[in-house]
Amino acid sequence: MQELRPEERREFQRLGVSSPIPATLGTIPVSILEIGILGARLQHSAPVDAQYSELRFSYSGNEIAMKCEVVRTAALPSPYPDSGLQSGVRFLAAIGESGDSLRGMLGELVTREINERHAHGPAAIQAPGVDGDRTARGRDAGFIAFRFEHGRWSKRPVFLPEQPSSGFTVARGYDPDELQRLCAVFEAADDEGKRLIRVFAELSVSDALQIPPAV
């Protein structure tokens, strides 16, 4: 069994959005402040009265609906009038094709952020595919870990899709040319840029593992 190094983690990260995304949690209007494969942070004014609900919103013409568990709610100072409550939700399942739509949205957002941070650096990266053509799905899905240590890259197949702080892990079958660009961008990135690369890599992992599951 592979050991997990202290600097490695398996938890998927969330991505902050530059402009809050309007949504509904059950019947309550909310704004999405952060979102990832596993959950989101929401801003709202009306109190949440159900532990389990559905988060629904649209992005680029795609309707996205996720079955959620509300894990916490707190009153926090807000720049938005009458919106002083924030809730964290955990995604339990994706309704219909919402899992792929969510990956597509996150891929677009993180790709844009990475490319803006490296406008004059390595060649721009492309948003990852989420239709299964370039990733391996199912129980037999394998992963490739890339590490940048002592000025050199190494790669090895792994069974656990942990994200190392000194590199990133993707599902096998990822586009080789895109991997070269990711490595080049990672080398030139600051700490936040490296985190974004790992968020980007996580999308192929979640696609391979079908996280969150579809219903």
Do 122 and 90 share a structural domain? no
- The DSSP call for residue 189 is -
* Domain extent for 105: 100-209
pLDDT at 198 over 50: yes
Whether 166 is in a domain gets the answer: yes
pTM to 2 decimal places: 0.82
Residues 110 and 77 in one domain: no
DSSP helix/strand/coil, 119: coil
In a domain, 194, yes or no: yes
Q: Beta strands 152-158 and 143-149: pairing type?
A: antiparallel
| Phi, psi dihedral angles at 154 (to 5 degrees) | -130, 155
**pLDDT tens, residue by residue, 44-78:** 999 998 999 999 999 999 999 999 999 999 987 66
Enumerate the β-bridge partners of residue 142.
none
